[in-house]
């Protein structure tokens, strides 16, 4: 189906700040949406990574303000942000 939402799990629109990798090299952004399997993060205007852009396959640790920390792997990037799948094989310190 053209234009159909093919996502495996429904998304929830939550608005909270997200820190990525404890701010190194990229501090984070805002949560666009989240499901049981992953999250989409949009960059804050002043926080767009320039020298070390986030890439597909990159392992990240997402820290959701006030709710917890999740290991993730970047599934795709898009203009202004990225989507990551939670990956519990990644060690979180």
Domain ranges of the chain: 17-86
pTM, two decimals, is 0.75
Q: Tell me: pLDDT of 5 over 70.
A: no
Would you list the DSSP string of 23-85? GSS--EEEEEEE-SSEEEEEE-GGG---SS---TT-EEEEEETTTEEEEEEEEEEETTEEEEE
Better pLDDT: 70 or 93: 70
Q: Tell me: pLDDT of 3 over 50.
A: no
* Residue 4 pLDDT class (50, 70, 90 cuts): very low
d(CA 85, CA 41) in angstroms, rounded, equals: 11
Q: Tell me: pLDDT of 21 over 60.
A: yes
């Amino acid at each position: 189906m053209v234009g159909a939402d093919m996502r495996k799990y429904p998304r929830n629109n939550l608005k909270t700040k997200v820190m990525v990798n404890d701010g190194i090299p990229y501090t984070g952004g805002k949560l666009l949406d989240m499901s049981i399997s992953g999250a989409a993060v949009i960059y804050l205007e002043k926080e767009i990574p320039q020298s070390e852009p986030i890439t597909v396959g990159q392992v990240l640790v997402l820290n959701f303000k006030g709710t917890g920390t999740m290991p993730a792997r970047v599934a795709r990037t898009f203009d202004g942000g990225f989507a990551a799948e939670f990956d519990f094989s990644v060690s979180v310190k």
